[in-house]
């Protein structure tokens, strides 16, 4: 209600002010006309400015009043020779006055529209410039102004940046070279692939620079720079390269799967034949009594390793081709002790001590024997290579113990340098290796084996000082409790 009353009051005041304006304008025109009496009879001509002023400063009602007052005053003050001439002149004055008033109103409306469009474009330009970092420099290359986006980009206030050489913020920038290019503007090439921006805290970021040269109010040249932060673009490019590398890894893994299938097929027959020949030789030597028990035992071990090699190749093929295999009831201590000679041999080759601390009580677990042993060999080999030349008394310890009614934990620990935090996520990626000549499959395959056993391969800091790789196996109930 109050708003309506205020609006009505404003309209009423505007209307009355227009009427007063019409009266004043006509009175002024009459006074001006009286001053021109000695120069001749001007009739309605001095009244036209009064109508136009009223039309420019007020609305139609006030303009109509100005026209009526002008006609009335003219008819009153000018002697009439004939009624028809007076009516004709009055009508002609009214028509011309109203046409001129309409032209004024049309021009005013057009001016308002253009002003509004100009204001909208100016606001749009200001919005665009507010989101784009812009820096203005004098001819010497010193900062004159940073817009808000530029202050945010450099982490520097406009006042702190004023007067500083822009080369402090973008090393290698040369104002003289920019001025020599002229006012054409465009991208500014960097010595490297991009410019480097510097922040007060010492951090840097890649950017591109667009430049323009124009005179200031005093006629001196100044430089305007539009900056683009390339950090996200570089991050996206790095991500694309990483994705490409991952696709290459997937392709190589697929190729390895095909190679493993071929090797399993091609090597299975010669390995089986070698095992058969060893067995036949063992039988012949036992009959002939040529060799002693030690030699026969060595032949037996050689035959066992040949058979084991064939199983490993087949299991590797299963891993790479995602073929599943049922888990059996196994004893953790037995599985580790079965490969103890191989683990000891791996340690001896690098002068690293291998120690087993496997709890033999309640160690029945669900496992696939060959795959588990392959995982243990991979972990021990990595640990041995990690401690080699990094410890005065290099040592690798294999721990095994039940940690709950459901899980039995296996841990391979060393006293080497450990693993850097930024490398923990990368070491499990296929084709990623820190060893010269390494294929980068050991830990990746080991993790796959552990996950197929229902566990999760974890890495942490060992109490021995180095790295500790551990995982849990699901326990089998003991025979007595079954």
**Annotated domain spans of the chain:** 2-128, 134-229, 257-303, 326-474
pLDDT above 70 for 141: yes
First vs last Cα of the chain: how many Å apart? 89
Give the integer Cα–Cα distance in Å for 77 and 433.
110
Mean confidence (pLDDT) of the chain: 78
Cβ contact 240:198 at 8 Å: no
- In CATH terms, the fold of domain 134-229 is Beta-Lactamase (3.30.450)
The domain 326-474 having CATH identifier 3.30.565.10: the answer here is: yes
pLDDT band at 293 (very low <50, low <70, confident <90, very high): low
**Residue pointed to by tokens 């480097």:** 196
Lowest mean pLDDT among 18-27, 29-38, 262-271, 389-398: 29-38
Cβ contact 378:441 at 8 Å: no
Cβ contact 142:165 at 8 Å: yes
Q: What's the pLDDT at 58?
A: 77
pLDDT above 70 for 446: yes
Q: What's the pLDDT at 481?
A: 46
pLDDT above 80 for 464: yes
Q: 218-238, pLDDT tens digit by residue?
A: 777 888 888 888 888 888 778
Non-local CB neighbours of 396 within 8 Å, separated by 6+ positions:
347, 352, 353, 354, 355, 380, 383, 384, 387, 412, 413, 414
């Amino acid at each position: 209600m109050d708003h309506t009353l205020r609006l009505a009051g404003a309209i009423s005041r505007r209307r009355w002010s227009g009427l007063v304006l019409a009266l004043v304008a006509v009175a002024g025109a009459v006074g001006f006309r009286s001053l021109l009496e000695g120069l001749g009879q001007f009739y309605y001509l001095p009244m036209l400015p009064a109508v136009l002023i009223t039309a420019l400063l007020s609305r139609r009602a006030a303009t109509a009043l100005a026209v009526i007052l002008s006609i009335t005053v003219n008819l009153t003050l000018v002697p009439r020779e004939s009624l028809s001439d007076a009516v004709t002149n009055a009508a002609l004055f009214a028509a011309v006055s109203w046409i001129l008033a309409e032209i004024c109103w049309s021009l005013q409306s057009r001016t308002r529209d253009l002003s509004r469009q100009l204001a909208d474009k100016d606001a749009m330009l200001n919005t665009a410039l507010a989101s784009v970092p812009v820096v203005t420099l004098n001819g010497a290359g010193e900062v004159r102004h940073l817009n808000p986006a530029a202050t945010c980009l450099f982490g520097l206030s406009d006042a702190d940046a004023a007067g500083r050489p822009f080369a402090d913020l973008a090393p290698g920038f040369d104002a003289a070279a920019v001025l020599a290019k002229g006012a054409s503007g465009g991208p500014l090439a960097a010595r490297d692939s991009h410019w480097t921006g510097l922040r007060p805290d010492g951090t840097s970021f890649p950017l591109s620079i667009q430049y323009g040269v124009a005179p200031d109010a005093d006629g001196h040249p100044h430089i305007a720079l539009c900056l683009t932060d390339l950090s996200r673009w570089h991050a996206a490019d790095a991500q694309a390269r990483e994705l490409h590398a991952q696709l290459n890894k997937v392709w190589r893994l697929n190729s390895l799967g095909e190679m493993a299938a071929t090797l399993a097929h091609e090597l299975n027959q010669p390995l089986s034949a070698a095992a058969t020949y060893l067995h036949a030789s063992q039988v012949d030597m036992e009959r002939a009594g040529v060799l002693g028990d030690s030699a026969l035992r060595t032949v037996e071990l050689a035959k066992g390793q040949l058979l084991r090699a064939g199983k490993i190749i087949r299991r590797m093929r299963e891993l790479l081709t995602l073929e599943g295999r049922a888990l059996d009831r196994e004893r953790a201590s037995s599985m580790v002790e079965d490969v103890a000679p191989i683990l000891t041999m791996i340690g001896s080759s690098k002068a690293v001590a291998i120690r087993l601390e496997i709890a033999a009580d309640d160690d029945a677990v669900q496992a696939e024997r060959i795959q588990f042993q392959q995982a243990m060999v991979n972990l021990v080999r990595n640990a041995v290579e990690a401690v080699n030349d990094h410890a005065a008394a290099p040592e690798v310890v294999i721990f095994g113990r039940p940690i709950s009614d459901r899980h039995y934990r296996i841990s391979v620990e060393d006293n080497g340098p450990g693993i850097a935090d930024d490398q923990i996520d990368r070491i499990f990626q296929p084709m990623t290796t820190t060893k010269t000549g390494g294929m980068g499959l050991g830990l990746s395959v080991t993790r796959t084996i552990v996950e197929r056993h229902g566990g999760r391969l974890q890495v942490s800091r060992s109490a021995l000082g180095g790295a500790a790789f551990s995982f849990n196996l699901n326990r089998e109930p003991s025979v007595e409790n079954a």
